[in-house]
């Protein structure tokens, strides 16, 4: 069930990075907190190749709306437990919110595999993750964005969720169950 959808007037807001952009995975990892939530197939790939399996990886098998290549797919097909969810493009589903909370509560790295699109998952991930964590996502054709989860970044993410169309109160209640 879709809880939130992206209104046209917010689309530009989501194009600006929510943190610094990195092109060097090792440098990003040296600056990252713990746990790490990775949103995107290519970001997850780079973290794993660098030897750091994200605590939570949110993937959909695509990059720039196209299927990822075989090399990336092979690295993504690991042994980590998977949670399967549906999430339509430009939306955030109840299943995605619940999966984020569930995955963050687990002791082992967990993959959330999205049928549909995972692009907006960064925002609820920042709200759901504990302070001190990091959320990493891809900025197309630029690199990886590192969002430090702080009280301020959580407020900013909550504000973005509240500005989306739909039931923001229900969405925030789901994320508060962590």
Q: Where are the domains of the chain?
A: 19-176
Q: Read off the pLDDT band of 78 (50, 70, 90).
A: confident
Confidence (pLDDT) at 68: 67
**41 labeled part of a ligand binding site:** yes
More confident residue, 34 or 61: 34
Confidence (pLDDT) at 80: 79
Confidence (pLDDT) at 74: 76
More confident residue, 164 or 74: 164
Confidence (pLDDT) at 140: 85
Confidence (pLDDT) at 60: 84
Confidence (pLDDT) at 158: 96
d(CA 36, CA 104): 10
**42 labeled part of a ligand binding site:** yes
CA-to-CA separations, 169 to 15, 36, 99, 111, 133, in angstroms, rounded: 24, 26, 18, 26, 23
pLDDT tens, residue by residue, 103-120: 999 999 999 999 999 989
| pTM to 2 decimal places | 0.93
d(CA 177, CA 98): 9
Q: Is the distance from CB of 3 to CB of 97 less than 8 angstroms?
A: yes
**56 labeled part of a ligand binding site:** no
d(CA 139, CA 110): 22
Confidence (pLDDT) at 55: 96
In this prediction, residues 3-8 reach a mean pLDDT of 93
- Residue 165 burial class via C-beta count within 10 angstroms: exposed 0-12, middle 13-18, buried 19 and up: middle
**60 labeled part of a ligand binding site:** yes
Bridge partners for 110 per DSSP: 56
Confidence (pLDDT) at 36: 98
**107 labeled part of a ligand binding site:** no
pLDDT tens, residue by residue, 44-68: 999 999 999 999 999 987 776 676 6
Query: Helix axis angle, 151-163 relative to 168-176, nearest 10°?
Result: 150
Residues above pLDDT 70, as percent of the chain = 95
**173 labeled part of a ligand binding site:** no
Confidence (pLDDT) at 137: 96
Confidence (pLDDT) at 178: 56
Neighbours of 63 (CB within 10 A): 18
- At 56 the three-state DSSP class reads strand
Q: Read off the pLDDT band of 43 (50, 70, 90).
A: very high
**49 labeled part of a ligand binding site:** no
Could you tell me which residues come within 8 angstroms of residue 130 by beta carbon, excluding any fewer than 6 positions away? 35, 104, 149, 178
Angle at 29 (CA atoms; ends 99, 86), nearest 5 degrees: 20
Neighbours of 11 (CB within 10 A): 10
d(CA 75, CA 102): 23
């Amino acid at each position: 069930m879709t809880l939130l959808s992206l209104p046209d007037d917010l689309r530009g807001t989501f194009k600006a990075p929510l943190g610094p952009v990195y092109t060097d995975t090792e440098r990003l990892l040296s600056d990252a907190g713990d746990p790490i939530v990775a949103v995107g197939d290519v970001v997850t790939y780079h973290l794993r190749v660098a030897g750091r399996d994200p605590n939570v990886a949110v993937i959909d098998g695509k990059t720039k709306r196209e299927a990822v290549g075989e090399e990336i797919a092979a690295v993504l097909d690991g042994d980590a437990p998977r949670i399967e969810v549906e999430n339509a493009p430009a939306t955030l589903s109840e299943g995605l919110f619940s999966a984020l909370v569930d995955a963050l509560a687990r002791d082992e790295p967990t993959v959330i595999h999205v049928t549909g699109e995972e692009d907006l998952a960064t925002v609820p991930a920042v709200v759901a993750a504990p302070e001190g964590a990091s959320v990493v996502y891809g900025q197309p054709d630029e690199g990886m964005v590192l969002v430090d989860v702080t009280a301020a970044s959580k407020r900013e993410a909550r504000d973005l969720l509240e500005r989306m169309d739909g039931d923001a109160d229900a969405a925030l209640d789901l994320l508060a169950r962590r």
